[in-house]
Chain A
Amino acid sequence: MTYEFLVASAIGVLVAGGIFLALRARTFQVVLGLTLVSYAVNLFLFASGRLTIGKPPIWEKAVSDYADPLPQALVLTAIVITFGMTAFVVILALRSFLESGSDHVDGDTVPCDTQDGASDVTSHAVETGEDAA
């Protein structure tokens, strides 16, 4: 198995899981999904300079073969930015949940409580016995 296959399948799995979660109706799952996608994106950016092993990322006269340093700089920037954005969206989701009393992405009252199960303590629809289905 080559490294390329390993990295590519890891990116694929992360993106698939991330998209699945991001399409869910509750903010926490959406945030998790976005985090997975951003991990995958960072891996992808890193791989865009070709995968090399044991090569220095800095150009020197003595070294003839070196890893591309630019994707590493890009990944660093992208990690910082997506990290900040994720922190922001977590706080925003919390605030929105506290102010509107619902953690649904479209902010309306709970259309899919039944599928998420009664273990969800935050949903007041379960407590009142209201069944949206």
Chain B
Amino acid sequence: MERIPILQMGDFLLVTIQVDMHDRLAMTLQDDLTNRICQANARGVLIDISALEIVDSFIGRILGNIAKMAKVLDAQTVVVGMQPAVAITLVELGLSLEGIRTALNVEKGMNLLRTGFDPQSAPHLFPRG
């Protein structure tokens, strides 16, 4: 069966979606990721959607579900790399991806996961004043 690969890097799981996902594939990813969080004892999940040309309400729901399930399992989720055209369309579609933490790119997303989303623990990343 077709699957989206999940990579492990220390405490984190990394997923890069590089195909135009049909709905069943997205459901499979949701199940696989939830299982892998438990198996790998993961603290965080990073999902790179830079290759996704659209995010519709179904994919939006799957991303939201993944973030919620991960949270229940004590893992953080960050979605990175959304294309500007996708962001514009999502807002017009009426989806705000509530509850999903996003970052511009993989590097910023990894930093968020490493600091547990806490700006205090990494002051150099969030310069003030």
- The yes or no verdict on A and B being binding partners is no
- B: residues with CB less than 8 A from A are none
- A: residues with CB less than 8 A from B are none
